[in-house]
Chains A and B, each alone.
Chain A
Amino acid sequence: MERTEALLIDHLREGDETALAPLVDKYKRMVHRLALQITKNHEDANDVMQETFIKVYQSIHTFRQEAAFETWVYKIAVNEALNFVKRRERRRESPLSNAQEIDFDLSVRQQAEMVNDPQIHAEKAELRRWVTKAVNSLSLKHRIVVILHELEGLTHAEIASILNCSEGTVRSRLHYARKQLRTLLKPYVDANSNI
């Protein structure tokens, strides 16, 4: 019998280790995606993901059901990722070389376009590279807000809770980040293409 998330959380809180696996299965992609987008490094993202779930396992008793479990996991993952980035910056290691090595993951639809219309595919591939590069070039605090809001679909309140800041700060950062992105993506924003 499949256990609901609330039940899994209760079991995990009671020390049932088997309840962790379904939760990991549900949130692993989200956590990994977030970790990779923040750290821009495969190894760090892997470590962040591991630390996040270990922390979930060890700190489950501190989880209050006033917030969604998903938001709580986000919060742990973001904090872990930020810690990794800070540690790396202290070691003065540049993430750029690793970031450039990250491969793009094309969806089935995108792969079909590539086969049917190579020219459109080439244009879109270029656009994807630009957009991804533009997002990755944002400062960390703006990038996180863009990732959480635009890509993960979290509300301002949820992001504020994760980042321990006010909603006003989140709105302000998001607006600033969008304006930055608009500048970076100006050729595509102003063009009346059929992309």
Chain B
Amino acid sequence: MLKVEAEKIMKLKCNATQRFISDYIDDTLSTKDAEKVEEHLRFCKTCRHEVAALRKTRDLVVGYYVEPKVPDNYYHQFEVELHRCIENKGPTPLYERLNTSVGQFTWSFLTRVRQSFGRYSFISRNLLPLGTLFLLIVTGIVGMSIYKQYVPPHSDHFSTRAGKPVIAQELNTDNDKSEVLQGIYNDYITKRKAPGELSSTNLATDTEKAGYWKLAEPLTTETEGHIIVMHISNDRSVPSDDANSELIVYAQPDILSNKSPLQDDDYAAFPLELHVAHYLEQYPRKYRKSLQVVDEMMNVPSEILTISESYEFSKL
């Protein structure tokens, strides 16, 4: 009868109490749960016995568990060994150092920001990913700018075959090149205005100057190149549009270094024509053959070249 009454009063049954016993003996239960357990224990001898047994077990473990014995001088030897081990690891790999540096920087950055904006929990919670993202973006931008600075831009309009230079690279408008090309161009202009002065003497003089003629206008990205068509032989009767008798010089590195693109015995290395070529424009049909020569000799696809001006020998 008493037991039935007690069970009515008890809010917890034995099974439920068992779950709380461990926390009860550790005093980690809430006041409300602890009261429920105590109420149960007042009427339940089995659970009381269980609590006492577990409490004693805990006390035995805490009081009688023996820590393993450590040999004398063990920790000192360990510290020496640890120090040696850290030193022997040698220089930390670059990526680890970078990782550490970024970590240290991020940490100090976050700490300072957190101190400043500590009350904005959203910011402080998301600072690590945001800070990391920010660093990645900055690193990417710096990397791209460095890459662009040292790697020349690649042009889709020109190709490199058999180790020949990519023409687009040769057409960068630096001052030296412009100066060289300008001289060549001026020389052509002069001869164009006074064709009657051309003679064998002048021819020899011109031949000596073969490598020093310059173009008047600097090359730009729009003016992709100046095609200088030269007669290899001294025979001026050869038509200028005969590709077999011409040498196409297209901003050759030799010219840029003040050397003649022709050999010393190419006596008649005389400028015969000068074409100012623009790419991505339609070119007149009559220049197509010259452009084929350009294609063959200079590895420049003729399809992308256009001749906008022409100075022919016959006019000089």
Contact = CB atoms under 8 A, between A and B. Distances in A.
A50 B54 contact: no
Contact of A105 (B60, B67, B103, B104): B67
B82 interface: yes
A153 B23 CA distance: 14
A131 B78 contact: no
Interface stretch (B37-45, B68-76, B171-179, B248-256): B68-76
Interface residues of B, number: 34
B65 A132 contact: yes
Interface string B119-138: 00000000000000000000
Contact of B66 (A17, A132, A179): A132
A151 B103 CA distance: 35
B184 to A, nearest CB: 61
B64 A128 contact: yes
A150 interface: yes
B61 A25 contact: no
**Main secondary structure on chain B at its contact with chain A?**
helix
Interface string A15-50: 101001100110011001100110000100010011
A122 interface: no
Contacts of B81: 50
A190 B78 CA distance: 43
Interface string A84-110: 000000000000000000111110000
B16 interface: no
Contact of B75 (A13, A28, A61, A127): A28
Contact of A146 (B61, B69, B75, B86): B61
Contacts of B28: 155-156
A105 B85 contact: no
A104 B66 contact: yes
A146 B65 CA distance: 11
Contacts of A151: 61-62, 65
A134 B61 CA distance: 9
A78 B91 CA distance: 28
Interface in B153-189: none
B78 A28 contact: yes
B265 interface: no
Contact of A28 (B53, B54, B69, B79): B79
A141 interface: no
13 contacts: A21-B83, A28-B78, A28-B79, A49-B78, A50-B81, A54-B85, A61-B103, A61-B107, A104-B66, A104-B69, A127-B64, A131-B60, A150-B58
